[in-house]
Structure 1
Amino acid sequence: MVSSPASAPDPASAPDPASAARAEARRAHRGGRRPLRRAAAGRRSFTSSLRALDELAQAGALVSVHVAELDTGRAVLAGDDHVPLPIAGLGVVPVLVETAARIEAGVLDPLRIVDRPDAGLVAGSGLWRHLRAPALPIVDLAVLAAGAGDPNAANALLEAVGHDRVRARMVELGMPRSAVLDRFRDRRGPDDAPHVAVGTTREFAQLFAALVDSRAVDAAVSAQVAEWLSLNQDLSLVASATGLDPFAHDHDAHGLLFINKTGRDRGVRAEAGVLGGPRAGVAYALTVCFDDLSISHRLRAHDVFRVLGTDLMEFTH
């Protein structure tokens, strides 16, 4: 069904993102999920993505997707893109924006040394915990958080800039239904937020579009965050269709414009980014929440991202 994207809600009246995520999850499981829609009749088709996403949703997964043309902002594929869902490490992107903004404003020293914490160290992933250096400057932590999805580096950045400032910045960026709820943790207790972050695919696709269009705070901040994100080495989901080198893809020989960030947690996969080719450029975001009961369940969720990546490459080339 062809449809235009709805306007963003008033920040003052927006519901709490965590409560909204739970409410929308209950609604989806009761069969109230909105149908996916393609809004680009006459252009290259997203038929494969529509089929794969619908099949995954029918199997019980929560699916949210938003793809929009960079030039016009017009949505070419959308489904439940207003629903806040858990996004794991994708929530680092607003933290990076606030970090770059405070550096640009001169209130945060990019070479300020931050000690690696002894207490609360996330042991499940990341590179910083394997390095001999017990302390790193803010800018190096930003590289680790963006390029390697390092949870301890992300936690250090969040503490450096302040949770309240990140929350306020997200509202300024037009993201009232998304939120960074907590730091990264190995285990979440009853007193902890249920997720590190929640977000809507519409808002995160729009954030990535703003980054490449120099509208995320200002041109300098946008360029810095885009540079950090261009180092991201996780090209295993949507980005797997690009054929880019995960360790050196910021200057592609074929002129492909690409930046992305992924989020991973048990039963959660999320990715947002920008892909530009000779025919068109798009900003995209896809989140899937699924029952991670087996490897086959996980691979089925991953396949949906790769199908979308193939359709995005066909659309932009």
Structure 2
Amino acid sequence: MGSSLPPAPEPVDGVPSTAVRRSHRGTRRLPRRAAIGRRSFDATLKALEELVDAGAQVSVHVVDLDTHKHVLSGDDHVTMPIAGLGVVPLLIEVAAAFEDGSLDPLEIVERSSVESVTTAGLWRHLRAPALPLTDLAVLAATAGDPIAVNALLHRVGHERVSARIEGLGLTRTAVLDRFRDARGPDDAPQVAVGSSRELAGLFSALVNSEVVDAAVSAQVSEWLSLNQDLSLVAASTGLDPFAHDHDQHGLLFINKTGRDRGVRAEAGVLAGPRSGVAYAMIVCFDDLSIAHRLRAHDAFRVLGVELMEYTH
């Protein structure tokens, strides 16, 4: 599972390059306005190097929403497990079906109609035995509820989600399976896979109303803006996990995380007064101890700090 990030390139004209590619295609300078002050990703590079040295595999991609320049990248083409981040293309297909009328948002789904997942989620703790599809989409986006996700996936079907992914031009992203309490030898080894470059690009397209159409992009962005997992990159934003879609300081933020044993992934959009970015980072690590896990989490938070510096 090991990967190797090369040493950070030497500064060019006093501006540190933040492109870290195994192929050494040359250095990329930050956009001019991003070169002001401490708007670099040196600490992120150091944290990722330490993860790699500890045996982890990392993939990261950050793109400026205004200039479309890649300001940070490392092994961003590699397909890796993304766990619950696979919910995003599923939500896109659900929103598209709501929009074209092929799916009724108020269609009721019985919880007993899908196999239970007992390891996580909110719906299993609720008294309501049935919910409308639109509420299941909210549960999937805000809490990554596995039963809600499985119900949506069962209703729209793997085939339609796969076709939607292909239609979006994503070649390194796939939803492979539903959530399960345990994976047997006949099950797919992961819920979903993807690359950080494609995931960052997908979130950029969402906020630019380029995913399917403006209405679908807005609906999916609205769902994701309610996400309550702000423990990784978003931990550095200072946002309220339960009410952050209308921040008083004008911070625009949407994200989705993915978690599994030895897998942490996050993609999103962060926009501040100076600039905006779409980002994605995936870390696969040997979850041998709390220390291993915290090392991975710390890298996400370091990225969050430097994204805040970049956008502010």
- The TM-score normalised by the length of structure 1 is 0.89
Contact 1:174 1:203 in 2 (8 A): no
Q: Which amino acid aligns with 1:121?
A: S
Cα displacement string for residues 114-144 of structure 1 (whole angstroms, at most 9, x for unaligned residues): 1113662110000000111111000000000
Q: Could you tell me how far 1:105 is from its partner in structure 2?
A: 0.5
Report the equivalent of 1:174.
169
- Of residues 173, 187, 192, the one that matches 1:197 is 192
C-alpha root-mean-square deviation of aligned residues, in Å?
Answer: 1.3
Contact 2:5 2:49 in 1 (8 A): no
Task: Confirm or deny that 1:256 pairs with 2:251.
Answer: yes
| C-alpha distance in structure 1 between counterparts of 2:72 and 2:7, whole Å | 11
Q: Percent identity?
A: 71
Contact 2:114 2:147 in 1 (8 A): no
Structure 2 residue ranges without an equivalent (≥5): 9-17, 20-27
Report the equivalent of 1:101.
96
| C-alpha distance in structure 2 between counterparts of 1:86 and 1:57, whole Å | 17
SS of the counterpart of 1:171? helix
Within 5 Å, which residues of 2 pair with 1:127-146?
A: 127-146=122-141
| C-alpha distance in structure 2 between counterparts of 1:196 and 1:232, whole Å | 19
Q: Could you tell me how far 1:250 is from its partner in structure 2?
A: 0.1
| C-alpha distance in structure 1 between counterparts of 2:308 and 2:101, whole Å | 39
Report the equivalent of 2:273.
278
- Of residues 52, 55, 60, the one that matches 2:55 is 60
| C-alpha distance in structure 1 between counterparts of 2:271 and 2:210, whole Å | 17
Q: Could you tell me how far 1:40 is from its partner in structure 2?
A: 3.5
SS of the counterpart of 2:242? coil
Q: Could you tell me how far 1:161 is from its partner in structure 2?
A: 1.1
Task: Confirm or deny that 1:112 pairs with 2:76.
Answer: no
| C-alpha distance in structure 2 between counterparts of 1:255 and 1:229, whole Å | 17
SS of the counterpart of 1:68? strand
| C-alpha distance in structure 1 between counterparts of 2:88 and 2:66, whole Å | 22
> Aligned residues, how many?
289
Within 5 Å, which residues of 2 pair with 1:76-91?
A: 76-91=71-86
Contact 1:34 1:80 in 2 (8 A): no
Report the equivalent of 2:14.
none
- Of residues 284, 294, 303, the one that matches 1:299 is 294
Report the equivalent of 2:11.
none
Q: Which amino acid aligns with 1:228?
A: W
Q: Which portions of structure 1, spanning 4 or more consecutive aligned residues, are displaced by more than 2 angstroms? A: 31-42, 117-120
Contact 2:114 2:150 in 1 (8 A): no
SS of the counterpart of 1:117? helix
Q: Which amino acid aligns with 2:309?
A: E
Q: Which amino acid aligns with 1:124?
A: T
SS of the counterpart of 2:153? helix
| C-alpha distance in structure 1 between counterparts of 2:78 and 2:112, whole Å | 34
Structure 1 residue ranges without an equivalent (≥5): 1-24
